[in-house]
Amino acid sequence: MTHQIIITFSGAVFFGIIFIILSHRLKIPPIVLLLFGGILIGPGAFGLNIINPSHLGAGFNAIIQLAVGLILFEGGLNLDVKGYRSVSDEIKSSLTVGVLITWFLSAAAIKYLFEFQWLFSILAGSLIIVTGPTVIGPLLKKIGVHKKIHNFLHWEGVLIDPIGVFIALLCYEWIIGANAIAMFAFRLTTGLITGLLSGYFLSKIIKKRLIRNEDLNIFVLACALGIFTISDIIVPESGLMSIAIAGFFVGYSNPPEIEKLKLYKEQLIDLLIGLLFMLLAANLDIESFNKHYGIKMIIAVVVVMIIVRPVNIFASTLLKKNFTFKEKLFLSWVAPRGIVAASMASLFTMNLKRSGIEGFAQNADFLEAFTFSIIFGTVIIQGFTAKPVGKLLNVLEPKATGWLIIGAHRLAQIIADFIKKVGFEVTLIDTNIRLVAVAKRNKLSAICENAITIEPDRFPELYGIGNVLAITENEDLNELACQYWAGKLKDPGLYRWCSAERQRSMGKSAAQRSGKPVWLDVQLNKLIDMINEDKDLSFTTVESDAKKIRHPERVLMCYNKGYLTPHVSSRADGRSLILSYHPFAVDVGFNIKPGCVVFSEAGDFAGVLKQLLACMTDVLTKDAVDRVFNHIIEREKEYSSVIGYNVALPHTYIDGIEDSVVLFAKLKYPIKCRFNEDVISYIFLVLSPRSKPQNHIKTLSEISKFIVNDDNRFRLFNASSEEELIEIFTS
């Protein structure tokens, strides 16, 4: 007998892990292979009888209870309160109104199809509330839907688990204490108090680092089992409630080490799920499904899939405009149930059988049969038809176009902002908590994680990523990051910064494996330092002919006809939107920024002056701008500001600035000043603080020197766009 117990237990662990690994390889939900694999190696009519759960005797129930308890604890750790606060109203409705609709409509269908009493039907209905991220995640990754659909299904799966578990546990606690309301209240109170107190003390121990990091994982595992045991000693059958509440509390308190705990628990849960599902699937009596429930069970599954889910979705999205009708239809079709539903159903079935409660013990098998039928219908049928249904409804993404920027420094944020403005999804990733926090304050999507160890499936922000731009100051890290993401994404665009010297030392094949090198002439560390120190550096976004750009080495991003690249693409044709940087404090000898350069089509002096002063609205008040305008116009009436060469040089002192500012306009059509006969083609407007008259005089002198230079005037004459004018003052 011992030999058979060892074979059953070790065989379930071995095959469970093998099927999970194989499912990851095939990119399908693990529950699919675990379900069929368990039936195949089990003792049933369709099995090979390699493992037999009956050999475990009473230990079978103990294994199931402990495994379910730890799964519920891990689910509590993943409680994402911030995620709930950030989700759309449709998801919040789905987690409230939708949950009630699924619960009670399913219960009603069970009641009228199988004629069970209402309380039993309500328990059965509560088991299929949950969907689960372990099933949704691989399915969404495989079919590739629009991001808003992905986010809805992802967050629904993540957040509905604790809700569904709590409801199912309440129903179960009510049933097993149905003969005495006081006993139910005592059991429920014990579970809540034990869970809350133990969760509170456990989170405090973790936060105060009373346990060294090396021992933390096994300590938390021991505590979870201890919480379950203590609660069950106080009141039998209260352990599940207490361990679930404790997990929720620790997850809600969010201690600093929570991510390490989650990673460890995920690995442990994979082991438990493999073991659990092998035993549960092997224990299923497939023949009894047809014998006892037959066509009614098929009708129940169809009702849940075809009626209950669509009513849930359309009620949850009523009067909301985030989703189109076709998108709602797709959401109505995809709601696969998973591990939590199956494990809870099997556990309740076994416990109700042992309880001997009249009206429940004899019908307990239905819970398992119904839940596994729903799992089979939703995972197999919906899972394998989701892609063609998505194609039919036109809700699939043809190709991932989102961007992942590795590095969250200010330069990366400037680039991310440009990518976002041209219509692409973008996420920053960095291990620097401060930089990530700054990026989030600037309304950018950012993750504080290691770019070469992160698991993309755990982060909905990384859904739809099709391009990676590695721009840390560490060239080796950029190369490793591209290699890592090449294995995580399907046909991604990979780009990395490296120096020209580094690129020359690398072979061609190495470059192909590690991403396309960009910005070879950029000294990235110096550029980032200049941005951080607010030195003479500026970034401009201009529309220009990509083939006529005079300094392509300064181009950071180029958007042309739906394509976005971190360089001037060879296929860029016609006008492109360019993000480039410009070093200042160069030859011209005066301070002029790209935002202060105008190519004007105004027909008179006043109109050009208004255009130039509009560049100062973020620095000066409207009253100050109006005073400057009126002052210059009045002075222009007295004497012309033209200094020769068709150049006007109006200037004045103002308050509200710290240094002299130069604004420049080239007129598309030369004008005659209406106050005299001077012809004007170029206007330099100089504004200086009253406290620095010497700076003012020096700036006027430098502009005069610039104008008398024949080459400078020739370049101004030939410039035909703002971008070309900017180049004159920055090179």
Give the tens place of pLDDT for each residue, 404-421. Answer: 999 999 999 999 999 999
Work out the pLDDT band at 133, boundaries 50, 70, 90: low
Taking the C-alpha atoms of residue 427 and residue 490, their distance in angstroms, rounded to an integer, is 18
User: Residues 6 or more apart from 423 whose CB is under 8 A from it?
Assistant: none
- The predicted structure's pLDDT at residue 471: 92
The region of weakest confidence among 183-197, 584-598, 608-622 is: 584-598
351's tokens:
């416990």
Q: Do the Cβ atoms of 109 and 118 come closer than 8 Å?
A: no
- The predicted structure's pLDDT at residue 585: 37
Taking the C-alpha atoms of residue 227 and residue 536, their distance in angstroms, rounded to an integer, is 61
79 vs 600, higher pLDDT: 600
User: Residues 6 or more apart from 482 whose CB is under 8 A from it?
Assistant: 468, 470, 494, 495, 496, 514, 515
Strand locations in 351-506, DSSP E? 402-406, 426-430, 445-448, 465-470, 493-497
**How would you list the strands of the sheet with 563-565, edge to edge?**
537-545, 575-583, 555-560, 563-565
Hey, what long-range contacts does 496-505 have (CB within 8 A, 24 or more apart)?
A: 496/469, 496/470, 496/471, 497/470, 497/471, 497/472, 497/522, 497/524, 499/475, 499/523, 502/475
Taking the C-alpha atoms of residue 120 and residue 494, their distance in angstroms, rounded to an integer, is 55
Strand locations in 259-299, DSSP E? none
How many Cβ atoms sit within 10 Å of the Cβ of residue 24?
14
Q: Do the Cβ atoms of 439 and 407 come closer than 8 Å?
A: no
pTM: 0.65
Q: Which CATH number does the domain 56-393 belong to among 1.10.287, 1.20.1640, 1.20.1530, 1.10.10? A: 1.20.1530
The region of weakest confidence among 37-46, 303-312, 583-592, 700-709 is: 583-592
- The predicted structure's pLDDT at residue 556: 87
429's tokens:
């990733």
Cα torsion for 484, 487, 492, 494, to the nearest 10°?
Answer: 30
What is the number of residues in the chain?
Answer: 731
Q: Do the Cβ atoms of 158 and 78 come closer than 8 Å?
A: yes
pLDDT beyond 50 at 587: no
User: If you write DSSP's letter for every residue of 547-589 in order, what string do you get?
Assistant: GG-S-GGGEEEEEETTEEESS--TT--SEEEEEEEEE-SSTT-
- The predicted structure's pLDDT at residue 586: 36
- State the average pLDDT over residues 283-292: 68
Angle at 225 between CA 222 and CA 226, to 5 degrees: 80
Residue spans per domain, the chain: 56-393, 402-531, 594-730
The pLDDT tens digits for 180-192 are 466 667 777 888 8
- The predicted structure's pLDDT at residue 588: 47
User: Residues 6 or more apart from 627 whose CB is under 8 A from it?
Assistant: 654
Hey, what long-range contacts does 638-642 have (CB within 8 A, 24 or more apart)?
A: 640/673, 640/675, 640/676, 640/678, 642/673, 642/678, 642/680
447's tokens:
């993750």
Nearest residue to 300 via CA among 379, 389, 377? 377
Q: Do the Cβ atoms of 572 and 631 come closer than 8 Å?
A: no
- State the average pLDDT over residues 679-704: 85
Taking the C-alpha atoms of residue 542 and residue 731, their distance in angstroms, rounded to an integer, is 17
Q: Do the Cβ atoms of 86 and 79 come closer than 8 Å?
A: no
pLDDT beyond 70 at 243: yes
Q: Do the Cβ atoms of 467 and 495 come closer than 8 Å?
A: yes
421 vs 580, higher pLDDT: 421
Taking the C-alpha atoms of residue 263 and residue 256, their distance in angstroms, rounded to an integer, is 13
DSSP code at position 53: G
- The predicted structure's pLDDT at residue 280: 79
396 vs 305, higher pLDDT: 305
Residue 683 pairs in a beta bridge with 648, 665
Percent of the chain with pLDDT over 70: 87
Q: What are phi and psi of 317, to 5 degrees?
A: -105, 10
The region of weakest confidence among 84-88, 313-317, 512-516, 675-679 is: 84-88
Taking the C-alpha atoms of residue 172 and residue 648, their distance in angstroms, rounded to an integer, is 86
Q: Of the spans 7-11, 164-168, 499-503, which averages the highest pLDDT? A: 7-11
Judged on CB neighbours under 10 Å (0-12, 13-18, 19+), 643 is middle
Helices of type H across 177-238: 181-207, 213-234
pLDDT beyond 80 at 557: yes
Please tell me whether residue 486 adopts helix, strand or coil conformation.
Answer: helix
Per the listing, tokens 């309160």 go with 81
Judged on CB neighbours under 10 Å (0-12, 13-18, 19+), 13 is middle
The pLDDT tens digits for 72-128 are 777 777 666 665 555 567 888 888 898 999 999 999 999 999 888 888 899 999 988
Q: Write the CATH number of the domain with boundaries 594-730.
A: 3.40.930.10
Q: Which CATH number does the domain 402-531 belong to among 1.10.1750.10, 3.30.1330.40, 2.40.420.20, 3.40.50.720? A: 3.40.50.720
Residue 614: how many CA atoms within 13 Å on its side-chain side? 10
